[in-house]
Amino acid sequence: MTNPRLAVSACLLGSKVRYNGDACEFRPLSRRWSEHLDLLGICPEVGIGLGVPRPTIRLSRGDDGVRLVQPSSGEDLTDRMVAWSEKTIESLVGLGIDGVVLKKDSPSCGIERVKVHGRREGSPMRNGTGIFPMVAQALHPQVPMIEEGRLNDAEQAEHFLSRVHFHHRWRLAGAEGWTAARLMAFHNEHKLFLVARTADGKRRLGRVIAEGFDAGKPASEVALAYMIEAQRSLGNLVHRGRFAHAMERALARLGVDVAPGVRQDIITSIHDYRRGLLPRMAPMLLINHLARASGEVPSWLGHLAQPVPSSTGVLRRV
């Protein structure tokens, strides 16, 4: 099994490519999570030929919308950056990336709340998106994307990594070409994963498959539409209640003979998780233990429990 592959702003990996010649290494990713992920560094500003160090650039609102400009020279870099971004995201997807982690606040890399300057000097609006993520999301919405700032929150980090692993398994499932049977098998394997993490994703994704094949579309096209809709559905954080419900379904689906007291202990721990009294890993460990004691842990159960960063920053399975 290969590791999921992420494209990452090069400065977050410790490369000294920022405008001032510094890096801003995000160590949980570059030093710890990198054991479990393949990381590819990209720097859009170096990519379009700007040197290190270099004059700062920024997003500015003009007559023809928001542009990427270098105030010191007055140069408009938008077209160069858009062209580089289009070429780069296509080659990254060709290389098999499963997600993108980008540096916040950058006019080239920031995904949200990037400063946009007006015509007059004054407070910029914090409502912009950097050029690279804007282009990448428009061309490949099936690839999950996040800023490093959000990865400091354990729940957001876990949720993003679950989206990355989901994309990774989808990519492997279709590596030898998509067929209707392969896509249905993938969907069936991930029903509980979707129940745990989306409001209505399982049903809507079933409909994407049915409508795609009813319309006679090629399997690869249906599979891509499936992943675009899946990542859209997975855009929000999971509620505890939803995940607890999926664990109850997993327990029922295991269907193994178990003493009533043991089953009740697991149900109690799921309730305690739902009420915020236990971490998710407590009931998941019990369910996994039960599955292992009665044979192999089924793959659908393995998919439900994703690797998560613990408070010490080490990935582990829950």
* Separation of alpha carbons 308 and 161, rounded Å: 7
Q: Any contact of residue 10 with ligand SF4 (CB under 6 A)?
A: yes
Look up tokens 């080239």; give the residue. Answer: 108
Strand-strand pairing, 65-70 and 58-62: antiparallel
Nearer to ligand SF4, 43 or 69 (CB): 43
* Separation of alpha carbons 247 and 213, rounded Å: 31
Binding-site size, ligand SF4 (CB under 6 A): 12
Q: Any contact of residue 9 with ligand SF4 (CB under 6 A)?
A: yes
Q: Contact region for ligand SF4 (CB under 6 A) — 31-39, 43-51, 71-79, 146-154?
A: 43-51
Please, what is the minimum distance in Å from the beta carbon of residue 155 to ligand SF4?
25
Nearer to ligand SF4, 60 or 106 (CB): 106
- Terminal-to-terminal C-alpha distance of the chain: 19
Nearer to ligand SF4, 134 or 304 (CB): 134
Q: Any contact of residue 17 with ligand SF4 (CB under 6 A)?
A: yes
Identify the residue among 18, 67, 167, 191 touching ligand SF4 (CB under 6 A).
18
Please, what is the minimum distance in Å from the beta carbon of residue 106 to ligand SF4?
4
* Separation of alpha carbons 99 and 258, rounded Å: 40
Nearer to ligand SF4, 9 or 269 (CB): 9
- Closest C-alpha to 59, from 43, 86, 81: 81
Nearer to ligand SF4, 110 or 307 (CB): 110
Q: Any contact of residue 109 with ligand SF4 (CB under 6 A)?
A: yes
Nearer to ligand SF4, 21 or 235 (CB): 21
Identify the residue among 45, 98, 147, 158 touching ligand SF4 (CB under 6 A).
45
Strand-strand pairing, 145-147 and 38-42: unpaired
Q: Any contact of residue 147 with ligand SF4 (CB under 6 A)?
A: no
Nearer to ligand SF4, 50 or 247 (CB): 50
Q: Any contact of residue 68 with ligand SF4 (CB under 6 A)?
A: no
Per-residue binding string, ligand SF4, 85-104, x by CB under 6 A, is ------------------x-
Nearer to ligand SF4, 15 or 269 (CB): 15
Identify the residue among 43, 97, 205, 244 touching ligand SF4 (CB under 6 A).
43
Q: Contact region for ligand SF4 (CB under 6 A) — 106-114, 219-227, 280-288, 295-303?
A: 106-114
In the complex, which residues of this chain contact ligand SF4 (CB under 6 A)? 9-11, 17-18, 43-45, 103, 106, 108-109
